Amino acid sequence: MAKSSLVTHILMFTQSRDNDALLINIISRNFSKVLVVEKIRAISEALRDLAPKVIFVSCETLQESLATYYQALDDAQNGKICEHCVVAVISRHDEKDAFEAYTNGIIDDYLVARPLYELHRPVVICQHLLKKVGLTEGSAQKTDFLKYRENYNDAAKEIIAKGIERKESMRKDFEDSLSQIDKALDAAADRIQKHQTVKLDMDMLKKTLSAIKSDEIRPELLKIQNKAMQLLEQVVSDAQSSFSAENMLFSDETELPDTAIINTKPVLPAASASAQPSPTPTQTATAAAKPTVSSPLITAAVQAKPSPAAQDKTPKVLVIEDDEISLHLTKVLLGNYKLEFDSADTGRSAFACLSNREYDLILMDINLPDTNGLYILDQIRTTANLNKQTPIIMLTGNKNKNTVRQAIEAGAKGYIIKPLHQTSVIKLFEKYQLPLLQKA
């Protein structure tokens, strides 16, 4: 297949087109925008082309495949690299090593293709990984699954058909919800520009976004998340007016708050003192726009005052948070100060950061997709971790006294109700005598 100027979605590197002829034929028959190459330089060029893609690497051994891909990756480091997934095409005797490479994140998947026993496996891998990088290219034309299943009994056909119809109805309902949210965010942004009152159905927004599990609708999700985050940056209230001392607890404070749960959601500024949202089954957020381009999260030019010995130090901060919107707002807030900032959204990525770098402060969410913050906290405090002595502040959306107590007993130095505000950041840095200097 000759190289073309068209965008490539699937790149196939092979050392032998003859040996991989069947695999190439299956992928090319089911997907468009496939390019087959034989030079490492071609992989590097594909990586520098910012269109997302799936890369298959087929060498004689897994070792050669890994060396080929990572050499190409190293050669492409001078510029931006596209989002991509890499698949090692292997022989049966390399399967154990390939599985280890997959579980350790060295490759995104592997395919036993010498010989190729499962003829549809390449299609399944391509479909899954294309969705993972945000592409929705389908494979061959879909057919009526049950129409040609003569060996299925009538009872099985009936229940399967009913389930398929139900799933299709749920998919359409969900797409309608995404469309409604998209339009609501556009309308809210327009009203903010006109300094008019804004009402958002926050329950619907949270329910819909939290229900998104499939990579198939990732482009729509990213678009909506981007709009939501831009809107939040414009209407979130000033931290000085919404911050409460009850939102923070340090381990050296003697008493836990009496209130089991404290609601500290951002209070959106009303158009007037009387413009309060009326209580309805659906929570609404009412806000009037502020004539400013910068985020109101960082309006006050207050800076923490460290000890003289710490003045020249650049604090290193790790935020462990899986909620993209919350993490974005935290980055906006901390991005205005002279800090070295890392983030992790899973327990596995958090452990990687904690094992390779010593931090001055760690902000950690309680709930993570693959573990919880209390487990990570326990591992840090009970093992020879680089951050054994680092202050760890737990983040959560509510304050349950039992959870607070568990966190403090496990070694947490403090507890903050999200969202993170400027005032709480200043208090934290003063508490641990870390410099908090605003960028020029």
Residues 257 and 379 in one domain: yes
- pLDDT value of position 360: 94
> Looking at the domain assignment, is residue 104 inside a domain?
yes
Residues 101 and 209 in one domain: no
293-316 pLDDT per residue, tens? 333 333 333 444 555 555 567 899
**What's at 163, amino acid-wise?**
G
14-29 pLDDT per residue, tens? 999 999 999 999 999 8
Sheet holding 361-365, edge to edge: 248-250, 414-417, 392-396, 361-365, 316-320, 340-344
Q: With bands split at pLDDT 50, 70 and 90, how would you rate the model's confidence at 287?
A: very low
Please check the confidence at residue 278 and state whether its pLDDT lies above 90: no
* DSSP bridge partners of 55: 11, 86
169-199 pLDDT per residue, tens? 877 877 777 777 777 777 777 776 676 666 6
Q: With bands split at pLDDT 50, 70 and 90, how would you rate the model's confidence at 150?
A: confident
Residues 96 and 185 in one domain: no
- pLDDT value of position 243: 45
- Average pLDDT of the chain to the nearest whole number: 75
Residues 258 and 356 in one domain: yes
Please check the confidence at residue 261 and state whether its pLDDT lies above 50: no
Please check the confidence at residue 276 and state whether its pLDDT lies above 50: no
Please check the confidence at residue 421 and state whether its pLDDT lies above 70: yes
Range of the domain at 180: 155-235
User: Would the pTM count as exceeding 0.85?
Assistant: no
Residues 126 and 203 in one domain: no
- pLDDT value of position 98: 92
Contact of 362 with 390, CB cutoff 8 Å: yes
Please check the confidence at residue 13 and state whether its pLDDT lies above 90: yes
Report the CATH number at residue 324. Answer: 3.40.50.2300
DSSP 3-state assignment of 248? strand
Please check the confidence at residue 237 and state whether its pLDDT lies above 50: no
- For 33-93, the three-class secondary structure string (H helix, E strand, C coil) is CEEEECCHHHHHHHHHCCCCEEEEEECCCHHHHHHHHHHHHHHCCCCCCCCEEEEEEEEHH
Per the model's pLDDT, the better-predicted residue between 267 and 426 turns out to be 426
Residues 300 and 404 in one domain: yes
Please check the confidence at residue 292 and state whether its pLDDT lies above 50: no
Neighbours of 2 (CB within 10 A): 5
Number of domains in the chain: 3
Residues 65 and 201 in one domain: no
